[in-house]
Amino acid sequence: MFERSKRGERALLIQPHSGSGDDPAVLEEFAELARSAGATVAATLPARIDRINPATLIGSGKVEEAQSLCSAADIDLVLVNHPLSPVQERNLERALQCRVVDRTGLILDIFAQRARSHEGKLQVELAQLRHMATRLVRGWTHLERQRGGAIGLRGPGETQLETDRRLLAKRVDTLSARLDKVEVQRNQMRRARLRQGIPRVALVGYTNAGKSTLFNALTGADAWEADQLFATLDPTIRRLEGLACGEVVLSDTVGFVRDLPHDLVAAFRSTLSEARDADLLLHVVDAADPQREERIGQVGEVLREIGADEIPQLLVFNKIDRLEEGAARVDVDEEGEAMRVWVSARTGAGLEPLREAISARLSGERVRGRVHLSALAGRLRARLFAAGAVRHEVADDDGWQIELDMPLATAQQILSGGDPEVAAVRGQLLAAS
């Protein structure tokens, strides 16, 4: 077995692609991911795949090309922009005699470097362990040894591989339990904000679109910002004051990327819930990115995966200072509602129109009214309280007189379905409007 390099700084990038052709933008993004992880891109190798090779992903001819490049450029790390099975990863390492990491492993490594909070570190470690669980068969010969060889220990026993799998599963269970506790605490804080009736706005978008810079510009916070992929992972929450609609809670979330690993989405469920539970999403887009329309679609896919695709969105095209004729403006729909706001978080251009657009969207997307709940509607009443929708309540002989005030998206979630009590409240609100 080859000796694994501990540094792994000089990297060969393998870019598999279909017969439709190689997309330079995809390779450039992958190269940026490699640099974000601390690697130096020494060479790249496009590899057309008409049919996936179950042993190595790429064909034998491309494997030979990769061997030559590794020898010529002193490569000690091969990064493949495609998920690899454990078998493919092991076979490529044997053929190339250097460490091989797929796209999922690379993103997990970047997240491990950037996590700062206790919760973030737990989330990343959990995702890494789940990814590692399928890769314990990678070339360590000692994993096939069984206990034995001494008096009292001879016999079939338990292989080292089985021991490692058991310990890994135990660690996964421990981390999951810790994250569940953290999520309970986060939910308690979230419910407290809901009871205060403060609208919630979350920044979402493709990584490196300038979300943290915009967050700082709007709130005066000092969240870490840098011109790199996944500069920040941990959610930051601040109050946004001075809007016509009143005080707003603004949260900055982790950036998205194409083919975001499912293990990360699962591990970051409490972090991503800041977006799922928001009243309005500010979808930040890099206006100077030639692939911006594709990026919008990829963010939409992640939002669908976490159940946040039905929350109202306001597109914010950031970095207009990088456009030749970039000017701050607001694009509206046929009804005069703001749909796109063009800003520069770096220079401050367009921030005031953005604040006005946020206020207008939050003011116009709320459901208010006084309703009566019968004594049988205890579960519905509890859901309304948990959502922070109850402004005032008076109990009577038949139930409760409740004054409601909640975002339209929240009302659609709670008051949907054919339950008689839900339908009765829905009817009362429609009559009041």
- Give the pLDDT band of residue 4 (cuts 50, 70, 90): very low
* Contact between 250 and 203 (Cβ < 8 Å): yes
Class of domain 366-432: alpha beta
Sign of CA dihedral 374, 375, 379, 383: positive
Q: Is 327 helix (H, G, I), strand (E, B) or coil?
A: coil
Instruction: Report residue 372: phi and psi, to 5°.
Output: -115, 130
Residue 3 has pLDDT above 70, yes or no: no
pLDDT in tens, 112-144: 887 777 777 887 888 888 887 777 654 444 444
Question: Which H helix or E strand runs over 64?
Answer: helix 60-72
Mean pLDDT of the chain: 81
CB atoms under 10 Å from CB of 169, counted, come to 12
Residue 153 has pLDDT above 60, yes or no: no
Which residues lie below 8 Å from residue 205, measured CB to CB, with a gap of 6+?
211, 255, 256, 283, 284, 285, 295, 299
For residue 211, give the amino acid letter: K
CA distance 355 to 336: 16
Q: Where are the alpha helices (DSSP H) in 196-281?
A: 211-219, 262-267, 269-276
CA distance 386 to 375: 18
* Contact between 223 and 213 (Cβ < 8 Å): no
Q: Report the relative pairing of strands 313-318 and 280-286 from DSSP bridges.
A: parallel
Q: Report the relative pairing of strands 338-342 and 390-396 from DSSP bridges.
A: unpaired
CA distance 174 to 428: 48
- Give the pLDDT band of residue 94 (cuts 50, 70, 90): very high
pLDDT in tens, 23-46: 787 888 889 889 888 899 999 999
More confident residue, 155 or 302: 302
* Contact between 206 and 303 (Cβ < 8 Å): no
Task: State the pLDDT at residue 11.
Answer: 93
The residue length of the chain stands at: 433
Superfamily of domain 10-111: GTPase HflX, N-terminal domain (3.40.50.11060)
Residue 302 has pLDDT above 90, yes or no: no
Tell me the whole-structure pTM to 2 decimals: 0.68
Q: What percent of the chain has pLDDT over 70?
A: 81
Looking at domain 198-364, which of 3.90.1720.10, 3.40.50.970, 3.40.50.1820, 3.40.50.300 is its CATH number? 3.40.50.300
Name which of 177-181, 213-217, 348-352, 398-402 the model is least confident about.
177-181
